[in-house]
């Protein structure tokens, strides 16, 4: 069974630029999560989807971050415009039952 | 609000020693899940265990064991006879039935040969 796929693996941008990350969950997993992990900290949940509906986006900075999961499968997380403090690893995870989460390798974002 | 505390920032042990990683949580919910994840140097989070708040039985899986005590809001993780491959950052996490996942800050474990 293929795991959670994410791309790109690394991204370097200048502040105020835009960036997008893509995630393809494990086949059949209805729940998809985006996390932000700043160096030295635990992952912070940004948004949780159930199929193509948003379950929780309470910690998503909606003035600059957006996410979509249009067909209930893969998802895109966008930052526009990026700030220096957005430098982090962005993790995508999926779950079949909303319990165990399976994580992708992450996208390491550096904002200069 | 939910919160997970892992007071041990870093732990170093010598191979074959036993080590316990502490996790204390706060929640107002009566129904919740607790998790442990391992993040090796490669960076990918690996699921280790999930515990339902109604099930306080301790669990053992090989060299790993977990002690869940509702009375003290703790969910501690013990590695017996540690190995170098156990070196990683370990995260405890809390969720209320599949939502509102909160991770602790993590404990970095170094197992020295």
Residues A44, A47, A49, A54: is their CA dihedral positive or negative? positive
Using alpha carbons, select from B81, B77, B8, B70 the residue that is nearest to residue B48.
B77
Question: What is the C-alpha to C-alpha distance for residues B36 and B24, in angstroms, rounded to an integer?
Answer: 12
Per-residue confidence (pLDDT) for residue A1, from 0 to 100: 65
Question: What is the C-alpha to C-alpha distance for residues A37 and A44, in angstroms, rounded to an integer?
Answer: 6
- Comparing A21-25, A76-80, B42-46, B64-68, which segment has the lowest mean pLDDT? B42-46
Residue with tokens 């039985």: B57
Q: Is the pLDDT of residue B89 over 90?
A: yes
Which residues 1-30 in chain A show a CB within 8 A of chain B? Answer: none
Residues of B in contact with A56 (CB under 8 A): 99-100
Each residue's pLDDT tens digit, A58-93: 999 999 999 999 888 999 999 999 999 999 999 999
Residues B43, A33, A4, B77: is their CA dihedral positive or negative? positive
Q: Is A45 on the interface with B (CB under 8 A)?
A: yes
- From the list A101, A104, A105, which residue is nearest B47 (CB)? A101
- Give the 3-state secondary structure of residue B62: coil
The HSE-up count of residue B3 (CA atoms within 13 Å, CB side) is 5
Residues of B in contact with A97 (CB under 8 A): 98
Q: Is A46 on the interface with B (CB under 8 A)?
A: no
Per-residue confidence (pLDDT) for residue B81, from 0 to 100: 97
Per-residue confidence (pLDDT) for residue B98, from 0 to 100: 66
Q: Is the pLDDT of residue A44 over 80?
A: yes
Residue with tokens 């319990």: A99
Q: Is A47 on the interface with B (CB under 8 A)?
A: no
Q: Is A90 on the interface with B (CB under 8 A)?
A: no
Residues of B in contact with A55 (CB under 8 A): 99
Cβ within 8 Å, pair A41-B106: yes
Each residue's pLDDT tens digit, B19-60: 999 999 999 988 999 999 999 998 889 999 999 898 888 888
Q: Is the pLDDT of residue A9 over 90?
A: yes
Mean pLDDT over each residue of chain B, to the nearest integer: 93
Q: What are phi and psi of A85, to 5 degrees?
A: -75, -5
Q: Is A107 on the interface with B (CB under 8 A)?
A: no
CA distance B14 to chain A (A): 23
What percent of chain A stands above pLDDT 90?
85
Q: Is the pLDDT of residue A99 over 80?
A: no
Using alpha carbons, select from A55, A49, A82, A81 the residue that is nearest to residue A68.
A49
What percent of chain B stands above pLDDT 70?
99
Q: How confident is the model at residue A16 (pLDDT cuts 50, 70, 90)?
A: very high
Cβ within 8 Å, pair B47-A55: no
Query: Contact at 8 Å (CB) between A18 and A79?
Result: yes
Cβ within 8 Å, pair B99-A56: yes
Mean pLDDT over each residue of chain A, to the nearest integer: 94
Each residue's pLDDT tens digit, A45-59: 999 999 889 999 999
Per-residue confidence (pLDDT) for residue B64, from 0 to 100: 95
- Give the 3-state secondary structure of residue B70: helix
């Amino acid at each position: 069974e293929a795991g959670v796929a994410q791309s790109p693996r690394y991204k370097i941008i200048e502040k105020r630029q835009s960036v997008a990350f893509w995630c393809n969950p494990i086949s059949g997993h209805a729940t998809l999560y985006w996390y932000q992990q700043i160096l030295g900290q635990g992952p912070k949940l940004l948004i949780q989807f159930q199929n193509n509906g948003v379950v929780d986006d309470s910690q998503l900075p909606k003035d600059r971050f957006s996410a979509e999961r249009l067909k209930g499968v893969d998802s895109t997380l966008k930052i526009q415009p990026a700030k220096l403090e957005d430098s982090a690893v962005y993790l995508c995870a999926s779950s079949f039952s909303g319990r165990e989460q399976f994580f992708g390798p992450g996208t390491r974002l550096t904002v200069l | 609000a939910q919160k997970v505390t892992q007071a041990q920032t870093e732990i170093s042990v010598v191979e074959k020693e036993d080590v316990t990683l502490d996790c204390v949580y706060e929640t107002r919910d009566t129904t919740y899940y607790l998790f442990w994840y391992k993040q090796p140097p490669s960076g990918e989070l690996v699921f280790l265990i999930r515990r339902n708040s109604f099930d306080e039985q301790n669990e053992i899986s090989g060299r790993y064991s977990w002690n869940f005590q509702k009375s003290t809001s703790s969910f501690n993780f013990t590695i017996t006879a540690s190995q170098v491959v156990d070196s990683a950052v370990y995260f405890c996490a809390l969720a209320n039935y599949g939502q509102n996942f909160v991770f602790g800050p993590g404990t970095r474990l170094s197992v020295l040969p």
